[in-house]
Amino acid sequence: MPLLVNGRPVRCADVDQRGAARLAGRPAANDGLDVTPVHGDPSPDDWPDRLFTYGTLRPGMAAWPLVEPLTSGDPEPARLPGTLHDTGRGYPALRPLATTDGGVGPGVPGHVLRLENPEDALPVLDEYEGDEYTRVRVTLPDGRVCWTYLWTAELDDMPVLPDGWVESNH
């Protein structure tokens, strides 16, 4: 959990290792994300067979040819409460329920894809997403449980994308 000093979280980018060792504070109660972590190796029976995509994995986007063969059925438009940011690197960053005002943000438009074989698809998608993202289960407003990928690095001053990811602008 983040370290709170005088009630405020300390960013790793703001303190070097020697300075961090001298800090006094208390751990935050949580990391601010409303997700369901998966501990250990879940069995395929525990894996949702759906994936919420909001960026390059959506239909018609650059990485759609990677994910399309792993799906069955038609992509379904959906929205996840949260905020989408422009990383400036050709792909977006998702933070569900993370806004400065404590609200749910503008909501992130995307698609729900049904994975034909999650146990085969998820390792391929994990490799594509890399170390800047972590795969988590989320519950959409309509109750569907899906996998999605959260941005784990700092947001810095990344602009918010209230209308979602539009690849043609990047």
* Residue 27, Cβ density class (10 Å: 0-12 exposed, 13-18 middle, ≥19 buried): exposed
pLDDT of residue 32: 62
| Strand, coil or helix: 146 | strand
Is residue 101 very low, low, confident or very high in pLDDT (cuts 50, 70, 90)? very low
Same domain, 84 and 161: yes
Would you say 149 and 143 are in contact if contact means Cβ atoms under 8 Å apart? no
Same domain, 130 and 151: yes
pLDDT of residue 39: 62
pLDDT of residue 41: 63
pLDDT tens-digit readout, 9-43: 777 677 787 887 888 888 777 666 656 565 666 55
Would you say 74 and 66 are in contact if contact means Cβ atoms under 8 Å apart? no
For residue 38, being part of any structural domain is answered with no
Same domain, 22 and 50: no
Same domain, 87 and 20: no
Same domain, 66 and 146: yes
Q: How far is Cα 91 from Cα 41, in angstroms, rounded to an integer?
A: 28
Same domain, 25 and 49: no
Would you say 27 and 3 are in contact if contact means Cβ atoms under 8 Å apart? yes
First CA to last CA across the chain, in angstroms?
34
| 26-27 vs 133-139, strand pairing mode | unpaired
For residue 69, being part of any structural domain is answered with yes
Helices vs strands, H then E, count in the chain: 3, 10
For residue 102, being part of any structural domain is answered with yes
Range of the domain at 27: 1-31
